[in-house]
Structure 1
Amino acid sequence: MRKHLSLSLIIALLSPLAASAENLNFTLENGTENMIVQFHVSPEGGGKSVELLKKKGLYGGKSRALTISDDSDACVYKIRAVFEDDSYYDVRDKVDFCETGSYTIGN
């Protein structure tokens, strides 16, 4: 019983650490006439870039609900959108996805 109690205590102590990485949900709006074929986000402080459209383009004038689930507790991300003609859009100011529920490219 002592081992069982110790294991339960360890799990209880580690649970808040596992819960600190939350998914960030937002709506990406394409305010341009061109299709976005890739939408990359990477945490401001460094880290792996994640592509969120997963080979499903976003046509001009359309929007899509997306989720950042990169196992980090970051809120602020650098973003890059790649269009079908290989042009791209980089955001110089970082985006705080904890504070915004949507982000529009263009217009």
Structure 2
Amino acid sequence: MMKKLNTILTAVAALLCASAAAHADDLTFTLKNGTNSVLTRFYTSPVGVNEWEDDVFGEQVLEPGESIEITIADGRTVCRYDMRFEFEEGSDLDTTEDRQDLCKLGSYTIHE
């Protein structure tokens, strides 16, 4: 009886670990620049975190009409992220912020 109980507990533990790992997967989506301005900086931060994390683009920019695949590999198990978009100097566009469930999002287009 004890051996059977240990087998069941081991199976349950494995299922729980697999479930937790599935939620910690990297979030991947396509970001499209649907504006007429160069997108120079893109920041994300989980909802409830009061500071922006590093610029996702680094040295890159996203030209008007271009797309890029974004991967957020922060190891968190959250889906709702705040996003901040900054455009080139001299652009007619102001910094824009939005909040999305990135687990459900396959692509996101920033518009003017």
- TM-score higher than 0.5 here? yes
The code of the aligned residue for 2:17 comes to: P
Rounded to whole Å, the distance in 2 between the matches of 1:22 and 1:103 is: 19
Q: TM-score, normalised by structure 2?
A: 0.72
Offset from partner CA, 1:26-68 (integer Å, 9 cap, x none): 0000000111111000001226624211220000111111101
Larger radius of gyration: 2
Residue of structure 2 equivalent to 1:27: 30
Q: TM-score, normalised by structure 1?
A: 0.75
Residue of structure 1 equivalent to 2:66: 62
Rounded to whole Å, the distance in 2 between the matches of 1:72 and 1:47 is: 16
Identity %: 35
Rounded to whole Å, the distance in 2 between the matches of 1:47 and 1:26 is: 23
Gaps of 5+ in 1: 1-8
Residue of structure 2 equivalent to 1:36: 39
State yes or no: 1:16 paired with 2:17: yes
Q: Which 10-residue stretch deviates more, 64-73 or 46-55? A: 46-55
Rounded to whole Å, the distance in 2 between the matches of 1:64 and 1:80 is: 16
Rounded to whole Å, the distance in 1 between the matches of 2:56 and 2:110 is: 15
Rounded to whole Å, the distance in 1 between the matches of 2:105 and 2:54 is: 19
